[in-house]
């Protein structure tokens, strides 16, 4: 783990000179090993990959997140329902606007660090999952150093913030992810109105969190493989 300011992050180095850098933002479970594994996969593609921990200061440390994730993926619905209040309690701080502003400022500070990395040369992309997908959108709107954004089942910002997105966006969504799908027509219209190069790929019969192999209720290996191929090709094209 490394640190910039008050932000800890996991760093995965490519075996060759980097073809750019990518910020990998975790789900609501925090910086668990699964997300570090995603960063490692990006490093294997030739990128300097950094996975920031933006939830520990709000009480969702990786250990807490893993415990919550395992409970809420339990095959017994009664167990899942029993743990819902704990999840809401732990995420209370992170849902506050002030917390979100602080987390976004931390991510901008991480971009400052990446700007100084040899070989990055301003080639920076962002990706994220669920909670992290939402922040991938937000960081693209906040900082024009982001040249490509790949939110996996993240919530797009309001139309007035979409206007601030200056990079191409590839959104990867499961058809059964009702909240994301309900807003998708509105998001597409706002992206078009703002002139954003936006593509949304909707996977039939796929659920929220289809990319997370540690989630037995949602993981879809075929969809995850296609999404990975699309994400890597998109970033490679945009970073050059």
Domain boundaries, the chain: 2-239
Residue 208 is encoded by which pair of tokens?
């929220």
Mean pLDDT of the chain: 93
Q: CA 214 to CA 5: how far, in whole Å? A: 31
Cα 110 to Cα 4, 44, 105, 180: the distances in Å are 7, 21, 9, 28
Task: Please give the pLDDT value at position 72.
Answer: 73
Model confidence band, residue 146 (pLDDT cutoffs 50, 70, 90): very high
Higher-confidence position of 207 and 74:
207
pLDDT over 70 percentage in the chain:
100
**Alpha-carbon distance 238 to 167, whole Å?**
9
- What average pLDDT score do residues 48-72 get? 86
pLDDT score, position 24: 98
Question: Is residue 60's pLDDT more than 90?
Answer: no
Q: Give me 23's structure tokens.
A: 């910020």
| Buried residues in 137-165 as b, exposed as e (16+ CB within 10 A) | bbbbbbbebbbbbbbbbbbbbeeebbbeb
Angle between helices 62-72 and 77-91 (to 10 degrees): 150
Q: Model pTM?
A: 0.93
Q: Which CATH class is domain 2-239?
A: alpha beta
Is residue 78 classed as helix, strand or coil in its secondary structure?
Answer: helix
Whole-number pLDDT of residue 104: 96
* In the predicted structure, residue 62 carries a pLDDT above the cut 90: no
pLDDT at 154 (0 to 100): 96
Neighbouring CB atoms inside 10 A of 88's CB total 10
Cα-atom radius of gyration of the chain, to the nearest Å? 17
- What SS3 state is found at 231? helix
């Amino acid at each position: 783990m490394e640190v910039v300011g008050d932000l800890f992050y996991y760093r995965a180095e490519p075996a060759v000179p980097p073809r750019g850098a990518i910020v990998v933002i975790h789900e609501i479970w925090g910086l668990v090993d699964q997300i570090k594994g995603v960063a490692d996969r990006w490093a294997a593609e030739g990128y300097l990959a950094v996975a920031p921990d933006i939830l520990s200061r709000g009480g969702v440390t990786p250990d807490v997140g893993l415990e919550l994730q395992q409970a809420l993926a339990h095959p017994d619905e009664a167990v899942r329902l029993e743990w819902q209040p704990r999840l809401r309690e732990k995420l209370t701080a992170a849902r506050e606007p002030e917390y979100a502003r602080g987390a976004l400022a931390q991510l901008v500070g991480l971009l400052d660090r990446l700007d100084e990395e040899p070989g990055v040369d301003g080639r920076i992309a962002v990706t994220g999952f669920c909670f992290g997908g939402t922040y991938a959108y937000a960081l693209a709107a906040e900082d024009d150093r982001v040249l490509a954004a790949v939110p996996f089942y993240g919530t797009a910002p309001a139309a007035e913030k979409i206007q601030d997105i200056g990079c191409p966006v590839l959104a990867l969504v499961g058809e059964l992810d009702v909240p994301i799908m309900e807003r998708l027509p509105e998001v597409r219209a706002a992206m078009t109105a703002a002139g954003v190069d936006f593509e949304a790929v909707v996977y039939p019969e796929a659920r929220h969190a289809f990319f997370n192999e540690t989630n037995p209720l949602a993981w879809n290996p075929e969809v995850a493989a296609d999404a990975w191929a699309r994400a890597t090709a998109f970033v490679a094209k945009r970073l050059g």
